[in-house]
Amino acid sequence: MTSFRHFALRWILALAAGLLLTVAVPTIASAQDETRNITRGREVYRDKAQCHWCHGWDGRGAESHMGNGPSLRESFLDLAGLIEVIACGRIGSKMPAHDTKAYDDDRCYGIPRADLDEKEVPTPGLAMLRANEIEFVARFLVEQVVQFELTLDYCVRYYGEGASPCAELAPGL
Protein backbone atom coordinates (compact mmCIF):
# COMPACT_ATOMS: atom_id res chain seq x y z
CA MET A 1 0.00 0.00 0.00
CA THR A 2 2.72 2.43 0.98
CA SER A 3 4.63 1.77 -2.20
CA PHE A 4 1.48 2.28 -4.22
CA ARG A 5 0.88 5.61 -2.47
CA HIS A 6 4.44 6.58 -3.19
CA PHE A 7 3.99 5.63 -6.77
CA ALA A 8 0.76 7.60 -7.07
CA LEU A 9 2.30 10.62 -5.37
CA ARG A 10 5.31 10.58 -7.66
CA TRP A 11 3.05 10.31 -10.63
CA ILE A 12 0.99 13.28 -9.52
CA LEU A 13 4.14 15.32 -8.87
CA ALA A 14 5.50 14.46 -12.29
CA LEU A 15 2.23 15.45 -13.88
CA ALA A 16 2.17 18.73 -12.00
CA ALA A 17 5.75 19.50 -13.01
CA GLY A 18 4.90 18.70 -16.60
CA LEU A 19 1.95 21.05 -16.50
CA LEU A 20 4.07 23.80 -15.00
CA LEU A 21 6.63 23.36 -17.75
CA THR A 22 4.09 23.55 -20.55
CA VAL A 23 2.70 26.72 -19.02
CA ALA A 24 6.03 28.35 -18.16
CA VAL A 25 8.08 27.65 -21.27
CA PRO A 26 6.01 29.54 -23.87
CA THR A 27 5.74 32.54 -21.52
CA ILE A 28 9.51 32.80 -21.15
CA ALA A 29 10.05 32.32 -24.87
CA SER A 30 7.61 35.05 -25.86
CA ALA A 31 9.20 37.52 -23.45
CA GLN A 32 12.60 37.06 -25.09
CA ASP A 33 11.67 36.65 -28.72
CA GLU A 34 10.61 39.25 -31.15
CA THR A 35 9.77 38.61 -34.76
CA ARG A 36 12.45 39.04 -37.37
CA ASN A 37 10.51 42.01 -38.77
CA ILE A 38 10.73 43.89 -35.48
CA THR A 39 14.49 43.30 -35.40
CA ARG A 40 14.69 44.60 -38.97
CA GLY A 41 12.63 47.62 -38.00
CA ARG A 42 15.12 48.45 -35.23
CA GLU A 43 17.98 48.07 -37.74
CA VAL A 44 16.31 50.53 -40.11
CA TYR A 45 15.73 53.00 -37.24
CA ARG A 46 19.27 52.68 -35.88
CA ASP A 47 21.46 52.02 -38.94
CA LYS A 48 19.87 52.63 -42.31
CA ALA A 49 17.59 55.65 -41.80
CA GLN A 50 19.31 56.85 -38.61
CA CYS A 51 16.14 58.19 -37.07
CA HIS A 52 18.11 58.57 -33.84
CA TRP A 53 19.64 61.87 -35.00
CA CYS A 54 16.36 63.59 -34.35
CA HIS A 55 14.43 61.16 -32.13
CA GLY A 56 17.25 59.72 -30.00
CA TRP A 57 18.34 56.08 -29.71
CA ASP A 58 15.75 55.83 -26.95
CA GLY A 59 12.95 57.43 -28.99
CA ARG A 60 12.57 60.14 -26.36
CA GLY A 61 13.37 62.91 -28.82
CA ALA A 62 16.69 64.62 -29.54
CA GLU A 63 18.15 67.90 -30.60
CA SER A 64 20.69 67.90 -33.40
CA HIS A 65 21.98 70.18 -36.14
CA MET A 66 19.64 68.27 -38.47
CA GLY A 67 16.50 68.94 -36.54
CA ASN A 68 14.78 68.56 -33.19
CA GLY A 69 12.53 65.55 -33.19
CA PRO A 70 9.76 64.99 -30.65
CA SER A 71 9.55 61.99 -28.35
CA LEU A 72 8.04 59.05 -30.20
CA ARG A 73 7.20 57.44 -26.86
CA GLU A 74 4.56 60.12 -26.40
CA SER A 75 3.10 59.73 -29.89
CA PHE A 76 -0.53 58.68 -30.28
CA LEU A 77 -0.18 57.50 -33.86
CA ASP A 78 -1.32 54.00 -34.84
CA LEU A 79 0.43 51.76 -37.35
CA ALA A 80 -1.18 53.42 -40.40
CA GLY A 81 -0.42 56.90 -39.06
CA LEU A 82 3.20 55.98 -38.38
CA ILE A 83 3.65 54.48 -41.85
CA GLU A 84 2.26 57.67 -43.41
CA VAL A 85 4.54 60.03 -41.47
CA ILE A 86 7.64 57.89 -42.09
CA ALA A 87 6.87 57.59 -45.82
CA CYS A 88 5.77 61.19 -46.37
CA GLY A 89 7.46 63.19 -43.62
CA ARG A 90 5.54 66.20 -42.32
CA ILE A 91 4.89 69.12 -44.65
CA GLY A 92 6.66 72.29 -43.53
CA SER A 93 8.76 70.54 -40.87
CA LYS A 94 12.17 68.86 -40.51
CA MET A 95 10.60 65.38 -40.52
CA PRO A 96 11.94 63.92 -43.80
CA ALA A 97 10.11 61.71 -46.30
CA HIS A 98 11.44 58.17 -46.80
CA ASP A 99 9.35 57.08 -49.80
CA THR A 100 11.35 57.76 -53.01
CA LYS A 101 8.20 58.83 -54.83
CA ALA A 102 6.74 61.02 -52.07
CA TYR A 103 5.09 64.12 -53.61
CA ASP A 104 5.74 62.93 -57.19
CA ASP A 105 2.03 62.17 -57.25
CA ASP A 106 -0.73 62.61 -54.67
CA ARG A 107 0.21 59.56 -52.53
CA CYS A 108 1.23 61.79 -49.62
CA TYR A 109 -1.72 63.52 -47.95
CA GLY A 110 -3.25 63.87 -51.43
CA ILE A 111 -0.87 66.75 -52.22
CA PRO A 112 1.64 66.63 -55.10
CA ARG A 113 4.82 68.70 -55.03
CA ALA A 114 3.36 71.13 -57.58
CA ASP A 115 0.77 72.26 -55.04
CA LEU A 116 3.33 73.01 -52.33
CA ASP A 117 5.68 75.83 -51.67
CA GLU A 118 9.22 74.57 -52.40
CA LYS A 119 10.29 75.22 -48.80
CA GLU A 120 7.43 73.17 -47.39
CA VAL A 121 8.26 69.93 -49.22
CA PRO A 122 9.83 67.50 -46.74
CA THR A 123 13.46 66.76 -47.55
CA PRO A 124 14.45 63.18 -48.43
CA GLY A 125 15.52 61.03 -45.47
CA LEU A 126 19.13 60.06 -44.85
CA ALA A 127 18.26 56.86 -46.71
CA MET A 128 15.21 56.14 -48.80
CA LEU A 129 13.24 53.10 -47.67
CA ARG A 130 11.26 50.38 -49.44
CA ALA A 131 7.60 49.98 -48.47
CA ASN A 132 8.36 46.89 -46.38
CA GLU A 133 11.19 48.68 -44.53
CA ILE A 134 8.81 51.54 -43.69
CA GLU A 135 6.37 49.00 -42.31
CA PHE A 136 9.08 47.21 -40.27
CA VAL A 137 10.19 50.43 -38.59
CA ALA A 138 6.56 51.41 -37.91
CA ARG A 139 5.89 47.98 -36.34
CA PHE A 140 9.04 48.31 -34.23
CA LEU A 141 7.70 51.65 -32.94
CA VAL A 142 4.23 50.21 -32.24
CA GLU A 143 5.62 47.24 -30.31
CA GLN A 144 8.45 48.84 -28.36
CA VAL A 145 8.32 52.64 -28.39
CA VAL A 146 4.95 54.37 -28.82
CA GLN A 147 3.35 54.75 -25.38
CA PHE A 148 6.03 52.52 -23.77
CA GLU A 149 8.43 53.50 -20.98
CA LEU A 150 12.14 53.20 -21.79
CA THR A 151 13.45 49.93 -20.32
CA LEU A 152 16.77 48.16 -19.85
CA ASP A 153 15.49 45.45 -22.19
CA TYR A 154 14.98 48.06 -24.94
CA CYS A 155 18.52 49.37 -24.42
CA VAL A 156 20.13 45.94 -24.50
CA ARG A 157 18.29 45.08 -27.69
CA TYR A 158 19.42 48.39 -29.22
CA TYR A 159 23.06 48.53 -28.10
CA GLY A 160 23.84 44.99 -26.95
CA GLU A 161 24.67 43.53 -23.55
CA GLY A 162 26.96 45.60 -21.32
CA ALA A 163 26.74 48.84 -23.32
CA SER A 164 27.35 51.94 -21.21
CA PRO A 165 24.09 53.79 -22.05
CA CYS A 166 22.24 50.84 -20.49
CA ALA A 167 24.06 51.06 -17.17
CA GLU A 168 21.82 53.79 -15.79
CA LEU A 169 18.73 51.71 -16.64
CA ALA A 170 20.02 48.65 -14.80
CA PRO A 171 17.98 47.78 -11.70
CA GLY A 172 19.52 48.67 -8.34
CA LEU A 173 21.28 51.81 -9.53
Which residue in 83, 56, 76, 86 sits closest to 68, CA to CA?
56
- What residues make contact with ligand HEC under the rule CB under 6 A? 45, 49, 51, 53-55, 66-70, 72, 75, 77, 82, 85-86, 90, 93-96, 98, 125-126, 137
Q: Could you tell me the smallest distance in angstroms from the CB atom of residue 152 to ligand HEC?
A: 22
Cβ proximity to ligand HEC, 90 vs 113, nearer residue = 90
Q: Could you tell me the smallest distance in angstroms from the CB atom of residue 95 to ligand HEC?
A: 3
User: Which long-range contacts link 104-112 to residues 24+ away (Cβ below 8 Å)?
Assistant: 108/84, 109/84
Cβ proximity to ligand HEC, 51 vs 108, nearer residue = 51
Cβ proximity to ligand HEC, 13 vs 63, nearer residue = 63
